[in-house]
Amino acid sequence: MRIYVGNLKYSVNDDTLRAMFSEFGEVASADVIKDKFSGQSKGFGFVDMPSKAEAEDAIQALNDTMQDGRKLTVNEAKPRTERAQQRF
């Protein structure tokens, strides 16, 4: 299951994001999204967890929690096409 993680502190990197979710189960990938020109974090990322049950546990546990003074938004990631349709 792909998980969206928003409102991350700009200093959070892929390893930090992976560590946040690894306590809930296996993490296949953890990617903080960066600006392609500056390399600066955009303040959100995605985590892939193979087990849907573990992913749902992580979402339940981490959504609306404080991390480094910021309230995280954690939910199931929506497909790109779905988001693009919402803009119009």
List per-residue pLDDT tens for the chain, 88 residues long: 999 999 999 999 999 999 999 999 999 999 999 999 999 999 999 999 999 999 999 999 999 999 989 999 999 999 877 655 655 5
pLDDT of residue 72: 98
pLDDT of residue 74: 98
Q: Please, are residues 2 and 48 in contact by the beta-carbon 8 Å criterion? A: yes
Domain positions in the chain? 2-86
From residue 32, give the alpha-carbon distance in Å to each of 23, 53, 69, 79, 88: 18, 23, 18, 17, 27
Q: Which CATH class is domain 2-86?
A: alpha beta
Alpha-carbon span 58 to 17, nearest angstrom: 12
pLDDT of residue 82: 61
pLDDT of residue 83: 58
Q: Rounded to two decimals, what is the model's pTM? A: 0.89
Please report, as a single letter, which amino acid is at residue 81: T
